[in-house]
Amino acid sequence: MVFNDTTNKKGLIQDCEDLLGMEDGAISGDTNLLKRFTRMINNWYRTVNAWIWEASGEWEYDDSNYTDLPIATTNLVDGQQDYTLPTWAQKVIRVEVKDNEGNWHQLQAIDQSQIDEALEEFEETPGLPKYYDLIGPTIFLYPKPSEDYVTLEGGLKIYVSRSIDEFDYDDTTKEPGFNKDFHQILSLGACLD
Question: Are 116 and 91 part of one and the same domain?
Answer: yes
Q: What are 24-73's pLDDT values in tens digits? A: 999 999 999 999 999 999 999 999 998 998 887 777 888 899 999 999 99
Position 170 in a domain: no
Q: Are residues 80 and 42 in the same domain?
A: no
For residues 88 and 50, state if they share a domain.
no
Residue 95 lies in a domain: yes
Asked if residue 118 and residue 55 are part of one domain, the reply reads: no
Based on the domain organization, do 94 and 42 belong to the same domain? no
Residue 163 included in any domain: no
pLDDT tens for residues 83-129?
A: 999 988 888 999 999 999 999 999 999 999 999 999 889 999 999 99
Residues 147, 82 within the same domain: yes
* Residue 113 in domain: yes
**CB 145, CB 80: distance < 8 Å:** yes
Yes or no: say if 165 and 88 are a contact pair by the CB < 8 Å rule.
Answer: no
Domain, as residue range, for 104: 76-154
How many domains does the chain contain in total?
2
Shared domain for 40 and 6, answered yes or no, is yes
**140-174: pLDDT as tens digits:** 999 999 999 999 999 999 999 888 999 999 999 99
